[in-house]
Amino acid sequence: MEEELIEKYKKCGKIASEAREFSRTLIKEGAKTLDIANAIEEKMMSLGATGFAFPTNLSINSVAAHSTPRINDDTVLKKGDILKVDLGCHVDGILSDTAYTVEVGGHDNKDLVDASHEALKAALDIVKPGVIVSKIGAVIEDAIKQKGFKPIANLSGHEIGEYELHAGITIPNFDNKSSVALEEGMVVAIEPFATNGFGKVIDTKESEIFRLTGEERPTRQASARKIMQFAAESYQFLPFCRRWIAKKVGGFGIEIGMMELLRNGMLHQYPVLKEEKNGMVSQHEHTVIVLDKPIVTTL
């Protein structure tokens, strides 16, 4: 990989990592998730991000992923909540993606929180060109099971492309027998999830995160056109949320416009994902450039 590109990945990773560390100071009993998400996103912009890789995910307890505060969301953190903070930004389309888990106001679930952290460290230890992804999955599975928990089998890490968060290969969180290998110069996000539940997530009926599909169909609905245009300009094919659209399209227009775009196949939605048996879930994630000496950009 060219030095200039590596530098961009490092810059973008550092912004995400600084915002992640900053976010730890915001997490306390009684804090509003909406305020936390907004503050994290403002921080990334102030540190020089061009934009976001995706809306900041704040997923609580058995909610595993794809949860971002709604417009006027009044959710507050409670003592004992297991909070996953998943954030990322881009610099000219070069992306970073990182996550951690914290128990609000206590350490009753320290082992669960540690399980995904240990798994991530173990996975990063073996990353290099030529490593088979199911071997990484096996290492993750082992580390999580050693702590007495299960990996979430239907959530996985992923390759990252320019302006493309989930590109190419996936990195499983268990030994899925895949023979796909990491290649020199690939950029991947590794993200183990651990649970005391069943080890699988299911879709809920809620969706706050969306992305354009690239389908272009004529629509006469004004809000739909406005959202489409704004999202295309601001986010390309990266995920976005209602909170961000609300700055541009007011009131009922958002719901009407989004419905129209979904109906037309112009919008993809990411349902909020919940553990199947309502188990508690922890997650940790880093972005890494696969080289003989791998570079974890979000350390």
Q: Which residues are catalytic?
A: 86, 97, 158, 166, 191, 285
Cβ closer to Mn ion: 99 or 228?
A: 99
Question: Strand 94-95 relative to strand 89-91: parallel, antiparallel, unpaired?
Answer: antiparallel
Min dist. Cβ of residue 239 to Mn ion (A)? 11
Using CB under 5 A as the criterion, which residues of the chain lie in contact with Mn ion when the complex forms?
86, 97, 99, 189, 285
DSSP, residue by residue, 130-166: T-BHHHHHHHHHHHHHHTT-EE-TT--EEEEETTEEE
Q: How large is the angle between the packed helices 33-46 and 3-24, nearest 10 degrees? A: 150
Cβ closer to Mn ion: 175 or 285?
A: 285
Number of Cβ atoms within 10 Å of the Cβ of 239: 25
Cβ closer to Mn ion: 207 or 223?
A: 207
∠ CA 110-189-32, nearest 5°, is: 50
Overall size of the chain counted in residues: 299
Min dist. Cβ of residue 72 to Mn ion (A)? 25
CA dist., res. 41 & res. 88, Å (int): 9
Which amino acid appears at position 24 of this protein? R
